[in-house]
Amino acid sequence: MTTAGKPVNPIRFLQEMSDQLTLRIRACLEDTHESGWSESKVHSDYDVWLLYEGSIDIRIGESVHRAEAGDLVFYYPHVPYTASTNEGRTRFMFVHFDFGIGDQLRILDSLPLAGIVPGGGLRDEISLMRQSYEQRRSRKSGIADLKLKGAFTLLVARVIELYEAGEYVGVFPGRLPRQSRSKGLSSLQPVFEYINRRTHLPLRTKELADAAGLSEKYFITYFKQTLGMTPSQYIYQLKMNKAREYLYQRNYSIKEIASLLGYPDPYSFSKSFKAYFHVPPSQFV
């Protein structure tokens, strides 16, 4: 989808909404299969395989792709596949998970991540993931589940980073049917772009609703159902994330940041910043 002739940047959206993103691991197990194994499935959630041993041929539609030991296989929901091995034993870890914000659990669908990710760019993350899995299985740590989630979050973030750097693009089909994609976050993407271009200005709900092509009353309800927050809460969070970035850059004074984010004066900005981060901007970095 485009807004005012410019494509929506899903990477930027993930960065801006990072505080609200949720990752939920539904299942994480290891599996071993001998030569001749085959399965045909379609999943309702995201699915990642970490291939330890052997190779797997994956057929999606008319295309066949091969994953080798060390690779990561990334499946998107509702995409049928057939996986098989004919050259000895194969062993891998599989992780079923949701990744979303609010009620939207499929926000990765706008990124072409589904495919076979070469393991060379993921060695550290895969190693940490395997260590965390072993700790959970052996119950050597009282926070094993938390460590596993943290390790897997880093792994998914690394795949996104490889895509952003142009080092990986998935080749599996990874989008939901058009009628499903037309709802949820995609309907609000023009609003996100509109807000992002105007963070230095006061924004009225009516103009945001117009950007979405919705009535003001329905827009407020729809926005909160989709993101789990009101438009004003989203704008507040966006401004605070931008303020944090400006402070990290060390190129702007507090007065300049207040102006860039539409605050009437440094005091108002500092008050909002402290309410969000529990520390004044002057002491943040």
* Residue 8 belongs to a domain: no
Alpha helices for the chain (secondary structure H) = 10-16, 123-138, 144-164, 178-181, 185-196, 205-212, 216-227, 231-249, 254-260, 266-277
Please report whether residue 11 resides in a domain.
Answer: no
- Report the b/e string of 122-157 with b at 16+ CB within 10 A: beebbebbeebbebbeeeeeeebeebbbebbbbbbe
Of the given ranges (96-100, 106-110, 270-274), which has the lowest mean pLDDT? 106-110
Domain at 103, CATH number: 2.60.120.10
What pTM value is reported for the model? Answer: 0.71
> What domain range is 258 assigned to?
183-283
Looking at the structure, tell me whether residues 171 and 226 fall in a common domain: no
CATH number, domain with residue 189: 1.10.10.60
pLDDT digits (tens, 9 = 90+) for 111-142: 899 999 999 999 999 999 999 999 988 877 77
Are residues 32 and 60 located together in one domain of the fold? yes
- Rounded CA separation 82/72 (Å): 16
- Render pLDDT for 217-261 as a digit per residue (tens, 0 to 9): 999 988 887 777 788 988 988 888 889 888 888 899 999 999 999
* Res. 105 pLDDT band, cuts 50 70 90: confident
Answer yes or no: is 92 within a domain. yes
Measured CA to CA, the distance from residue 22 to residue 228 in angstroms comes to 12
Same domain, 154 and 254: no
Q: Is the pLDDT of residue 87 over 50?
A: yes
Asked whether residue 130 falls in the same domain as residue 85, the answer is yes
Q: Are 273 and 214 in contact (CB under 8 A)?
A: no
Among candidate residues 119, 149, 175, the one where a domain is terminated: 175
Closest CA to 155 of 196, 187, 115, 121: 121
Q: Out of 29-33, 123-127, 189-193, 202-206, which region has the weakest mean confidence (pLDDT)?
A: 189-193
Residue 192 lies in a domain: yes
Same domain as 154, residue 33:
yes
Q: Do residue 24 and residue 145 come from a single domain?
A: yes
Judged against a pLDDT cut of 80, whether residue 64 lies above it is answered with yes
Q: DSSP secondary-structure letter at 45?
A: S
Q: How many domains, in total, are found in the chain?
A: 2
- Residues 193, 196, 201, 206, CA torsion sign: positive
In a shared domain, residues 139 and 222: no
Q: How many residues does the chain have?
A: 285
168 and 215 housed in the same domain: no
In a domain, 191, yes or no: yes
Residue 73 lies in a domain: yes
Residue 4, domain member (yes or no) = no
- 30 & 101 share domain: yes
